[in-house]
Structure 1
Amino acid sequence: MASPDKVPGEEYDYEALPAHYGLGHNMLAGAFAGIAEHSVMYPVDLLKTRMQIINPGAGNLYTGLTNAVSTIYRIEGWRTLWKGVSSVIVGAGPAHAVYFGTYELVKELAGGNVDDGHHPVAAALSGASATIASDALMNPFDVIKQRMQVHGSQHKTITQCAKSVYRAEGFQAFYVSYPTTLCMTIPFTATQFVAYESISKFMNPKKEYDPFTHCIAGGLAGAFAAGITTPLDVVKTLLQTRGLAEDKEIRSAKGLLNAAAIIKRQYGWKGFLRGMRPRIISTMPSTAICWTSYEMAKAYFKKQFGDS
């Protein structure tokens, strides 16, 4: 195989796997991408959670993104924007390692790397498989993160928060939103991966390592997928923060359909669009960062093994 340092007349086959390049390196690249993505965009994610919560004491505090930022700064201080970030750092590394490891493995098995053609089915299948595996690991950390993000949360550390949730609601509290999460993330990830592969193929038909392509394709794919899955994200947030709600109906929400009915009854159809702007605003750069970081790490490993 040609080295990434191309010589005249040769093309570096970026998608091909060097002989000694293994699944572990894809997983390491994925862990790097996940931590980079979630750490950089965490404050916007906190704003999204605050604006999505259906709770008279917290959900009506903010009228928009600008108001949310100024209110948090005035009442709670800037450090609040990073409250709970340790949970995603601890969870995102392993979860994204599983995410991208599964993605690359299933993509290879599904024939997504056999030639230079476009393989949307393989991309969708690998994306769906990746999110099923990674969400099983990440869901508890996501619950802890959102419990720490809400207005008035008394949780100081992820360990203390996890113990508190477990004592009050049992182990099921960490997975009550998992079916809803999959209902959201499977179409989100499948859509994102197909869009990413399609945009990348259009912008970079030779499949060479190109940070600009990876950044733009990742951002556009993420924004599109985030917009169409916002209603399910609102339902997920309700389920993951139900233990902090003042409303008895919300506290007793059992699953996807019950939570959706509560949202419809209390806020109408517009309730399913709560937090759409910060979700898109956070997802677009976060997926751009994620894909750029992942492809950068992957290119580094491939260069090392390609040169060996």
Structure 2
Amino acid sequence: MADQAGSKNAPAGNAAFCESPQVYDRDASAIASLVDNTKLDVKSPTDVFLSITKSLIAGGVAGGVSRTAVAPLERLKILLQVQNSQNARYKGMFQGLRTIWNTEGVKGFFIGNGVNCARIVPNSAVKFLSYEHAANAILWAYRRETGDSEAELNPVLRLGAGACAGIIAMSATYPMDMIRGRLTVQTKGSESSYNGMLHAARTIVRMEGWQALYKGWLPSVIGVVPYVGLNFAVYESLKDYIVKEEPFGPVPGSELAVLTKLGCGAVAGATGQTVAYPLDVIRRRMQMGGWYTTTINGQKVQVHYNGMLDAFSQTVKKEGFTALYKGLVPNSVKVVPSIALAFVTYEIMKDLMTLEYRITD
């Protein structure tokens, strides 16, 4: 009787639930769909290790080839960033490249490129893998918050995921970037010189302390947010827009042509580096602070900065606002071929290694 009374007094919703198994099945399917769309595929430790290793190799080779191809422009950009406008030795892209050729020969174009390539493997691996995990975590939280299992990342969320990835990757490889900057800037006849990456690291730690390896870290952290964040946000948002809106006509399936992806990458790279470029200039100058001398009014002066704001203040006061964009032209010129070569090389490596996981996607 009690059971019958309980059944009679049960809420209508519960009675409907008990009498309609379809309702339960539908709700269970919705929950399963939400979980399936927000979790990563579970793989064995061996599969995960092989996937990460292949990604490291493919991304490292792609980064090394692309960076080596534009090494002359990369070095000229840094030389333009740190020189003083009152005694400018490099007065533009073509004149600067000729000066390097005449004074240092072919080797001068590739000074500092070895350490630059050496940091590409860990930087690319950490950056892209961090972005993937950050994006998945943000997407999971976003879908859970909205209750929409079909929700996708919007540009703002992609910007956040890219910023997280950039900060992690930059912090992990910053000492190598700092050493690369000094190796790149030293020229024939420099008062201070290093005989290679390891010698530079030992000398810097001995003479300036280990904290010197992180000079300019703060503006780098601030700059990496718009730079890497915009790279990922603009690139993926452009791809989504082209696929969904079809502004240039029908797009077969959901795969874009390589040239279209290159165009998206070029726009993303140009946008990110233009917005963050002044912070890159300040970062380089802080890295060189106290290490190199410049000539002002005929006298050699050793340059020192007491932090990021002081570096900004001194640069603008002595050289004007345009000094914050020194080297922007060669840096912009190298963006398109660098991205193009990175994509093509990665695709070749992916095919050779039958790689399932694609960093660029």
Same fold by TM-score greater than 0.5? yes
Counterparts of 1:166 and 1:144 in 2: how far apart (Å)? 11
Asked whether the 8 Å contact 1:250–1:259 carries over to 2, the reply is: no
1:69 is matched with which residue? 97
Counterparts of 1:184 and 1:267 in 2: how far apart (Å)? 21
1:149 is matched with which residue? 184
Alignment CA distance shift 1:118-1:107 (3 Å): closer
RMSD of aligned C-alpha atoms? Answer: 3.0
Alignment CA distance shift 1:209-1:301 (3 Å): farther
Long gaps (5+) in structure 2: 1-38, 144-148, 245-252, 295-299
Bigger CA radius of gyration: 2
Counterparts of 1:105 and 1:17 in 2: how far apart (Å)? 9
Aligned residues: 288
Asked whether the 8 Å contact 1:30–1:100 carries over to 2, the reply is: no
1:10 is matched with which residue? none
Which residue of the other structure, out of 207, 210, 214, is the alignment partner of 2:257?
210
Asked whether the 8 Å contact 2:78–2:284 carries over to 1, the reply is: yes
1:301 is matched with which residue? 355
- Offset of 1:100 from its aligned partner? 0.6
Give the letter aligned to residue 76 of structure 1: E
2:334 is matched with which residue? 282
Asked whether the 8 Å contact 2:139–2:152 carries over to 1, the reply is: no
1:55-204 residue pairs with structure 2 within 5 A? 55=84, 60-111=88-139, 117=152, 119-150=154-185, 151-152=187-188, 153=190, 154-204=193-243
Counterparts of 1:88 and 1:264 in 2: how far apart (Å)? 29
Asked whether the 8 Å contact 2:127–2:165 carries over to 1, the reply is: yes
Which residue of the other structure, out of 306, 314, 330, is the alignment partner of 1:262?
314
- Offset of 1:246 from its aligned partner? 1.7
- Offset of 1:214 from its aligned partner? 2.2
Deviates more, 1:36-45 or 1:242-251: 242-251
Deviates more, 1:265-274 or 1:119-128: 119-128
Counterparts of 1:177 and 1:211 in 2: how far apart (Å)? 36
Give the letter aligned to residue 97 of structure 1: A
2:13 is matched with which residue? none
- Offset of 1:202 from its aligned partner? 2.8
Deviates more, 1:85-94 or 1:61-70: 85-94
Alignment CA distance shift 1:31-1:107 (3 Å): farther
Asked whether the 8 Å contact 1:180–1:255 carries over to 2, the reply is: no
Asked whether the 8 Å contact 1:100–1:130 carries over to 2, the reply is: yes
- Offset of 1:52 from its aligned partner? 0.8
- Offset of 1:203 from its aligned partner? 3.2
Alignment CA distance shift 1:298-1:283 (3 Å): same
Counterparts of 2:132 and 2:303 in 1: how far apart (Å)? 40
Counterparts of 2:335 and 2:234 in 1: how far apart (Å)? 14
- Offset of 1:209 from its aligned partner? 5.9
1:228-243 residue pairs with structure 2 within 5 A? 228-243=275-290
Counterparts of 1:142 and 1:78 in 2: how far apart (Å)? 22
- Offset of 1:262 from its aligned partner? 1.0
Asked whether the 8 Å contact 2:83–2:89 carries over to 1, the reply is: no
Alignment CA distance shift 1:125-1:292 (3 Å): farther
Counterparts of 2:288 and 2:234 in 1: how far apart (Å)? 31
Identity fraction in percent: 25
Asked whether the 8 Å contact 2:235–2:265 carries over to 1, the reply is: yes
Asked whether the 8 Å contact 1:30–1:99 carries over to 2, the reply is: no
Counterparts of 1:303 and 1:109 in 2: how far apart (Å)? 18
Asked whether the 8 Å contact 1:29–1:97 carries over to 2, the reply is: no
> Normalising to structure 2: TM-score of the pair?
0.71
2:63 is matched with which residue? 34
Asked whether the 8 Å contact 1:47–1:278 carries over to 2, the reply is: yes
- Offset of 1:249 from its aligned partner? 7.8
Counterparts of 1:45 and 1:19 in 2: how far apart (Å)? 41
Asked whether the 8 Å contact 1:125–1:190 carries over to 2, the reply is: yes
Task: Find the residue that maps to 1:72 and give its secondary structure.
Answer: helix
Give the letter aligned to residue 117 of structure 2: I
Alignment CA distance shift 1:53-1:303 (3 Å): closer
Counterparts of 1:229 and 1:261 in 2: how far apart (Å)? 17
Q: Deviation string for 1:60-104 (max 9, x for gaps)?
A: 101110000111111111111101111112211011111111011
